[in-house]
Structure 1
């Protein structure tokens, strides 16, 4: 972290003003960074990082400099790694390599011969102690026991296994090509070959991962690991497949509070298992700290070799005495061409100012549990002690008082410059005076702070009381408003229910009334029809009897010899007359104005008389066809058939001499059936009503 409170003090250092001086030491004030351990006149040391850029597949979360290619020209890559390692070690005038780390990519895909060749080149260009830490990263999918044995024979003495998770579903989400069982087998094989020096990497904070799942993963890892664990919170890097899925909403982003809980859970679990958290992400027990990682956190020199590797060192071989930040060319093919042409493939280099170096020192050192010591601080700022920067009033001191920054006795003791022999007593007195003044200032500040705290507490209590009173008043108003709302809602519901009930009852009543009315109409129609049919039958029978008697008398009067004896019941024995009512075959009303009729057929046993024998000799002729005695039934003038309706046409009977009987249709009815609200009723309107089916009207005139 960068602390703004110490920037004014460091400004003098950066400018090389009196009282500041450059980090180059007393002999070269303001000349740049101080001599690295091992600069000319000492023994320069550096760690060595070697990057193998190739992988078999792209993991969904990884944004490192890696490449998936069909085939790798390993001999060419090996040669370039060896040449660049020699070049940069000599450029930094490194006399001793403190540690070597093979990272990637997947360096376990390289052959043991490549690893051995790089280590030999480092030993030739600088001293590589026999006990120096040499770590190789390995994926479980390329960490067979035979391959691991080859790496150990090549000079590797520490293994970092990229387990990442012990859950198959999480491994698939991360795009890893191994399974949980393969990871367990790889770690067990590594522990057998590198006992006490096997580390495993785990990731937490995966999309959709729960606190319980992470706790189970930790428990499983504790039963599997050796003495070192590296726990990394997953960072969703832009450009990765996993980040794109989270950004689209296909996967949930883990909440920050959950991530914090996972981290604290891991710290508690590992502390209970005897692990020391010596860095934010690294835990070790039994002294199995990673020397190479500590070289980063302590801001020591390290040289990066391989495509995309980073480094921090002073290129003394080029005449420079200032630390540089270097980045090698990322693309492997371009990098190899540059190495073959210039001996190294450095793409970017930037000299770090004293302020930038101190910022890096603080940012990296505060990641560790040992913090930043005065000894390490003095390498970059020999003229400005650590106590002078963080022990004066300012933002740094405020952070100390708040518990965010610790400046303990060890750091202050190491930060004191040793006085000259003759001034030792004076120095002690000055130190004691400063201590007393500091104690008094702290007491005064403490009293003032206590007063401020008490005032603030009183204010907070008053604010809380006001809030409570306000909350109570709001609750009471809210309860009253809620009661009014509920009452109004109840009233509205009851009104609506009542309206719905009334509407439904009205609809049901109307429907029932309509059904009853229709039923009454149907019943009335059936009764009227039956009554008319019975009446027609009765009238027809009566007309038949009357017509038969009169016709018989007429025929007897016309017959030769005069009237004969009248048989019983008024019927002639030779020629009985029959009359019948002609009823329609169909049903339904007749056309308006059409009358019903009864046709009378006369039958006589006497032979017809001569047509010229007088007025009565012609006999009776009936219209509509010839009868058995020469009579014919036809339409008389003015009494012909009416419109053909369901009741048939009207008929008339007349004699040729004008003496015969005539049947005429009845006049139209003078009543019709109407409709009222209470059902059918007789109406006296003069307009005709169509006949009901089966209705007949009879009129007989002589």
Structure 2
């Protein structure tokens, strides 16, 4: 099975923390949508006939599209690829775009899962992030989606934010759990150099919360969601039983996916492709019949390191026998002492020939993975 990701690179305004590819200039929207249609035609055989089980509209802000534009893209993908009946079709949305009329229209064109970027319910913190929506819209969006018939809803939250005390974060968690979404993704603020926050930090205008704040918020997050019956199936992702994100899980399980749109990535088990992060050049190249991308062939070391990086973030961990059979890599033998130390510290466990990080270990997932990488 395979997935398709569409990057819709438009936003109403620039959030101060965001490093994703986007533009606030919506004038070229129609040309860019036509370019995505053209790229899909040119990439029709990239997945080698493999059935598509997930389609994901990310961004940017895909909810800026008219429902008809989203529907046209979905219809075209169904014509070009074998999209499974009942495929998971996710659209990322901002709360301010989700009117009853828009939600009903999205349901009609085939969207069956929403990923709503709430981030926080605290109005001062939202303003400090330069988010386009209000706290009132954050409160209202999930009930509106329920009323429109959506029964698979994910919300995004952020923690470790400027002005977000432990009390404010606890209120965010309580309000999120009261909405009982099927899925919650929660991310700690990362200061990226080219963002407004990055520039302000460099100039001393912004003093970001320290790592200890992020760790405190992360522990509050995991404890609250586990108590509420959510499964912690990936470092940043939680779900009610049976509601994990099939699309994101396909990345972590090393399945094929095709990325369409500027800045999108593709993977076919042998190589990776990267689309250029420039809307104008993306459009021009496709109008000229040229795919706007670069690629790289993956070697044995790349495959092993990627499997470690993605697998250790998940609740099912990494399959040690798979590493031996597929890549002739004996992780236990080559890292015996370090793995024993991790288990003794309660950071990892071995179970049915799988290595999994504990809740304590996931706090150090990046550090642990780096120690296990083949360099």
Answer yes or no: same fold by TM over 0.5: yes
Kept in 1: contact 2:154–2:184 (CA 8 A): yes
**1:133 is paired with a residue of what secondary structure?**
strand
**Counterpart selection for 1:132 from 83, 87, 90:** 87
In the other structure, the counterpart of 1:47 is: 3
Q: 1:256 to 1:133 in 2, by over 3 A?
A: same
Kept in 2: contact 1:229–1:283 (CA 8 A): yes
Give the Cα separation in 1 of the matches to 2:253 and 2:147. Answer: 31
CA RMSD of aligned residues (A): 2.0
Give the Cα separation in 2 of the matches to 1:166 and 1:398. Answer: 42
Kept in 2: contact 1:298–1:376 (CA 8 A): no
Q: Establish whether residue 358 from structure 1 lines up as the match of residue 304 from structure 2.
A: yes
Give the Cα separation in 2 of the matches to 1:199 and 1:89. Answer: 29
**Counterpart selection for 2:21 from 65, 83, 90:** 65
Kept in 1: contact 2:158–2:188 (CA 8 A): yes
Relative to the length of structure 2, the TM-score reads: 0.88
**Counterpart selection for 2:280 from 303, 324, 333:** 333
Give the Cα separation in 1 of the matches to 2:309 and 2:286. Answer: 33
Kept in 2: contact 1:187–1:225 (CA 8 A): no
List gaps (5 residues or longer) in structure 1: 1-44, 315-322, 413-702
Q: Which structure would you say has the larger Rg?
A: 1
Give the Cα separation in 2 of the matches to 1:340 and 1:375. Answer: 47
1:564-583 map, 5 Å:
none
Give the Cα separation in 2 of the matches to 1:398 and 1:291. Answer: 33
1:196-251 CA distance string (max 9 Å, x none): 30111011101232111111111111112422111110111111112222333333
- How much has 1:276 moved relative to structure 2? 0.7
Kept in 2: contact 1:204–1:233 (CA 8 A): yes
In the other structure, the counterpart of 1:408 is: 351
In the other structure, the counterpart of 1:164 is: 119
Q: Which consecutive aligned stretches of 4+ in structure 1 deviate over 6 angstroms post-superposition?
A: none
Kept in 1: contact 2:38–2:286 (CA 8 A): yes
In the other structure, the counterpart of 1:372 is: 318
1:506-544 CA distance string (max 9 Å, x none): xxxxxxxxxxxxxxxxxxxxxxxxxxxxxxxxxxxxxxx
List gaps (5 residues or longer) in structure 2: 356-375
In the other structure, the counterpart of 1:285 is: 240
Give the Cα separation in 1 of the matches to 2:322 and 2:217. Answer: 33
Greater alpha carbon shift after TM alignment, 392-401 vs 328-337:
392-401
1:469-508 CA distance string (max 9 Å, x none): xxxxxxxxxxxxxxxxxxxxxxxxxxxxxxxxxxxxxxxx
1:287-327 CA distance string (max 9 Å, x none): 1111001011122221110011112125xxxxxxxx11211
1:155-188 CA distance string (max 9 Å, x none): 1100011111101100100001111111222221
Give the Cα separation in 2 of the matches to 1:383 and 1:327. Answer: 25
**Counterpart selection for 1:81 from 24, 36, 41:** 36
Q: Establish whether residue 243 from structure 1 lines up as the match of residue 198 from structure 2.
A: yes
Higher relative contact order (CA 8 A, sep 6+): 2
1:524-673 map, 5 Å:
none
Q: Aligned residue pairs: how many?
A: 354
1:87-236 map, 5 Å:
87-236=42-191
Kept in 2: contact 1:277–1:369 (CA 8 A): yes
Kept in 2: contact 1:85–1:118 (CA 8 A): no
Q: 1:70 to 1:297 in 2, by over 3 A?
A: closer
Kept in 2: contact 1:390–1:396 (CA 8 A): no
Give the Cα separation in 2 of the matches to 1:209 and 1:54. Answer: 27
